[in-house]
A and B are shown apart, each in its own frame.
Chain A
Amino acid sequence: MDHIYMDYGSASPVDQRVIEAMHGHSGKLVGNPFSVHSGGRLARHLLEEARNKVSSLIAAEDGGKIIFTSGATEANNLALIGTALRGREKGNRIIISAIEHISVINAAKSLAKQGFEIVTIPVDDDGLLNTDLLQRSINDKTILVSIMHANGEIGTVQPIWEIGAITRDKGVPLHVDATAAAGNITINADIYKIDLLTISSNDLYGPQGAGALYVGPKVKIQPVILGGGQQNGLRSGAENLAGIVGFGKACEIAQSEMFNESAWLQGLRDELIEGVLNNIDRAYLTGSRYKRLPNHASFRFDYIEGESIILSLDMEGILASTGSACSSKTLEPSHVLLALGLSHEQAHGSLVLRLGRWSTRADVDAVLEVLPPIIKRLRAMSPLVPRMGAQHAGVY
């Protein structure tokens, strides 16, 4: 690769073994799983194989279903809207956290317009959910709790087992958006008492355009996409067979390699975090230091703006991302960073570095080499650096 890729959260390269698995069936992947002929049978077989691989990675409960979707956004929409439509007789309260992915937040907002009551649970300055408040917020009108496993922007991992114990005890379905967590940390839908779970193919080095919603045996949802009744009527439309085959292969690889891969990445991540915090003045970690994805480092820097950091890193061949307002379409700072209690100005200076399967120590060293002078250069340009500290800004 020409670039040093530190943006595995935005998109991941597809693993060569996944591509080969998809190629291995090319020419044969013509069957519609609905067809009765042998092509259809092969397609059904491949679909089932992929389903088993996804189920295995997330330790699905017996009797649970894997519904393939176009990705995490559709799965999150289906989880919220499908549960709400199905459960509206029982109640109208849906509980989410303040740092959910925008596909959960916007689905919730749309439901709020239809008369559902959306309760948002705040997080502390590490991004950890207040589980006491969650417990107290569940009333007899509550039909769903939706909490992400790990946050892609700040890396914080929620205590899902604790949350699952609460929701199961209260008899309320729990949806977990495991998009950023899958393949990086252990997910056990059965033991954690997760009823609905979102997982995305590309985050596991599978092809884009594939994902799934796991629906446990204790819950029922209403379909959102209607048509020929594929996937038990829960998601109509002929399945994206090639994508699903790749997704299955990606789950299989993740399951067998996650343990070693995560341990390795965690070492690199720690070098990256310590290197940045030790070598750059007024640099801060965003998210929790220890309850954190093993491949995730995220920071903010006083006095400077994230898009400028990203452009400067790009000039050095390093690809990363930011939660700064300047790089968003809406020009609003990231809701996740604001939920941590950061001011707009502080949220502005954010940098997210996500490692992945092909990250190397040389990549980390390169970032640690070029980042301090970039921060120094941008600070020298910033009117926010205190005047007395104008020379001080040199002490990055």
Chain B
Amino acid sequence: MLEYTEKVMDHFRNPRNVGELENPDGVGRVGNPKCGDLMEMQIKVKDESIKDIKFRTFGCGAAVATSSIITEMAMGKTIEEASNITRNDVADELGGLPPVKMHCSNLAADALHAAIEDYHLRNNGKDKNETTAL
């Protein structure tokens, strides 16, 4: 078995913000086809800040822990701040990950960025509609 930090185990044991949001403003789904992990991140945005965030993950302890901790890191942050959270930030916040897991299961930042991208896409669409309506 790989060595996980106490913080990884804490987030694995008690993952924060698991589940789905009602009418999310952005949804990101990423997967690693090689090792098979799959992660889904949903965000609710208000005034360009992340008001709520939830995740669902199929994967190992590291996959669950990175998803969980990034929801804490992103909650309340502006969209721009959240976009700047990197894979390394997530791993650092957990006190490190086993090297083999760094690329395989450390997908949470990608999932968050995908959710933000989805939010931008939807939002741009809405803006256009509104402009047309005017």
Q: Give A contacts to B, CB under 8 Å.
A: 303-305, 307-308, 310-311, 315, 324-327, 329, 331, 333, 344-345, 348, 380-384, 390
Kindly list chain B residues whose C-beta atoms are within 8 Å of the C-beta of A307.
60-61
Q: Output the least CB separation between A332 and chain B (Å).
A: 8
CA distance A329 to B3 in the complex (A): 12
Contact between B105 and A326 (Cβ–Cβ < 8 Å)?
A: yes
Kindly list chain B residues whose C-beta atoms are within 8 Å of the C-beta of A308.
12, 59-61, 64
Any chain A CB within 8 A of the CB of B52? no
Most interface-central of B2, B35, B63 (chain A CB within 10 A): B35
Contact between B58 and A305 (Cβ–Cβ < 8 Å)?
A: yes
Kindly list chain B residues whose C-beta atoms are within 8 Å of the C-beta of A382.
56-58
Any chain A CB within 8 A of the CB of B38? yes
Pick the contact of A324 from B38, B40, B56, B60 — CB < 8 Å?
Answer: B60
Any chain A CB within 8 A of the CB of B126? no
Q: Output the least CB separation between B28 and chain A (Å).
A: 11
Contact between A331 and B35 (Cβ–Cβ < 8 Å)?
A: yes
Kindly list chain A residues whose C-beta atoms are within 8 Å of the C-beta of B128.
none
Contact between B56 and A383 (Cβ–Cβ < 8 Å)?
A: yes
Contact between B56 and A326 (Cβ–Cβ < 8 Å)?
A: no
CA distance A319 to B37 in the complex (A): 23
CA distance A325 to B106 in the complex (A): 15
Contact between B18 and A311 (Cβ–Cβ < 8 Å)?
A: no
Pick the contact of B58 from A303, A325, A329, A390 — CB < 8 Å?
Answer: A303
Contact between A326 and B35 (Cβ–Cβ < 8 Å)?
A: yes
Contact between B29 and A383 (Cβ–Cβ < 8 Å)?
A: yes
Contact between A311 and B57 (Cβ–Cβ < 8 Å)?
A: no
Ranked nearest first, the 3 interchain pairs of A and B with the lowest CB-CB distance are A326-B60, A307-B60, A383-B56
* B interface residues, how many (CB within 8 angstroms): 30
Contact between A383 and B58 (Cβ–Cβ < 8 Å)?
A: yes
- Give the interface SS of chain A, mostly helix, strand, loop or mixed: helix
CA distance A344 to B33 in the complex (A): 9
Q: Output the least CB separation between B101 and chain A (Å).
A: 8
Contact between A333 and B58 (Cβ–Cβ < 8 Å)?
A: no
A383 and B61 contact, Cβ closer than 8 Å, known pairs A327-B1, A331-B34, A331-B104: no
Contact between B60 and A327 (Cβ–Cβ < 8 Å)?
A: yes
A381 and B15 contact, Cβ closer than 8 Å, known pairs A326-B60, A329-B100: yes
Any chain A CB within 8 A of the CB of B13? yes
Contact between A384 and B38 (Cβ–Cβ < 8 Å)?
A: yes
Kindly list chain B residues whose C-beta atoms are within 8 Å of the C-beta of A331.
34-35, 100, 104
- Cross-chain pairs A/B with CB under 8 angstroms, 17 sampled: A304-B58, A305-B36, A305-B60, A308-B60, A311-B12, A325-B35, A326-B60, A326-B63, A327-B2, A331-B35, A333-B36, A345-B36, A348-B58, A380-B18, A380-B19, A383-B40, A383-B58
Contact between B39 and A383 (Cβ–Cβ < 8 Å)?
A: yes
- Residue in chain A with minimal CB distance to B61: A311
CA distance A310 to B2 in the complex (A): 12
Contact between A383 and B57 (Cβ–Cβ < 8 Å)?
A: yes
Contact between A381 and B60 (Cβ–Cβ < 8 Å)?
A: no
Kindly list chain B residues whose C-beta atoms are within 8 Å of the C-beta of A310.
1
CA distance A315 to B39 in the complex (A): 23
Beyond the given A308-B59, A326-B59, could you list 11 further A-B residue pairs with CB under 8 A, ordered by the A residue number?
Answer: A305-B63, A307-B61, A308-B61, A311-B12, A326-B62, A326-B63, A326-B105, A329-B100, A348-B36, A380-B18, A381-B64
Kindly list chain A residues whose C-beta atoms are within 8 Å of the C-beta of B18.
380-381
CA distance A381 to B19 in the complex (A): 7
CA distance A304 to B38 in the complex (A): 10
Q: Output the least CB separation between B1 and chain A (Å).
A: 7
- Residue in chain B with minimal CB distance to A325: B35
